[in-house]
Amino acid sequence: MNSTRESRKTVGVFMPFLSGIRGGPDVTAMWLIQALCAHYNVTLITTSQFDLDFFNRFAGTRLERDQFKIRRLPLLPTPPALPMSAIQGPLFQRSARACAAEFDLCLNAMNLIDLGVPAVHFLADLDWLKSTDLASDSKSAPAKHRKVSALRRIYHRLSARIQAQSGRDLLREDFVVSNSEWVASSLRAMGIESSVIYPPVPWLSREIDWDKRRTDFVWIGRIAPQKKVDNAIKIVAGLRNAGFDCAIHIAGTGSDKEYLTFIQDLAKRMGDWVVLKGPLFGEEKAAFLTQFRYALHTRADEPFGITLVELMKAGCIPFAPNSCGSAEILAHPALLFSNEQQAVAKIGELLSNPVLTQSVRDFLVQRAELFSTDSFCESAVTLISSILEHASSRPDVRHSQTQIKSRHIGNHGN
Sign of CA dihedral 207, 211, 212, 215: positive
Query: Does residue 405 have a pLDDT over 60?
Result: no
Of residues 85 and 389, which shows the higher confidence score?
389
- Cβ-contact 221, 23 below 8 angstroms: yes
Nearest CA among 242, 251, 257 for reference residue 286: 251
What's the distance, Cα to Cα, between the start and end of the chain in Å?
Answer: 23
What pLDDT is recorded for position 283? Answer: 83
Rounded distance, CA 224 to CA 231, Å? 12
Chain center to CA of 251: 17
pLDDT tens sequence across 277-331: 999 887 888 899 999 999 999 999 889 888 999 999 999 999 999 999 999 999 9
Mean pLDDT of 204-231: 90
Mean pLDDT value of segment 50-66: 92
3-state secondary structure of 147: coil
Does pLDDT of 406 surpass 80?
no
Mean pLDDT for the chain overall: 85
289 exposed, middle or buried (CB, 10 Å; 0-12, 13-18, 19+)? Answer: buried
The distance from CA 289 to its chain's CA centroid, rounded to whole angstroms, is 19
φ, ψ dihedrals at 10, nearest 5°: -105, 135
Whether the Cβ atoms of residue 176 and residue 193 lie closer than 8 Å to each other: yes
- Residue ranges and CATH numbers for the domains of the chain are 5-200+373-405 (3.40.50.2000), 210-370 (3.40.50.2000)
**pLDDT tens by residue, 104-157:** 999 999 889 999 999 999 998 888 786 555 544 444 444 444 455 665 565 455
Stated pTM of the model: 0.81
CA-based nearest residue to 294, from 366, 361, 363: 361
Q: Are 113 and 175 in contact (CB under 8 A)?
A: no
What pLDDT was estimated at residue 166?
77
Q: What is the pLDDT of residue 281?
A: 82
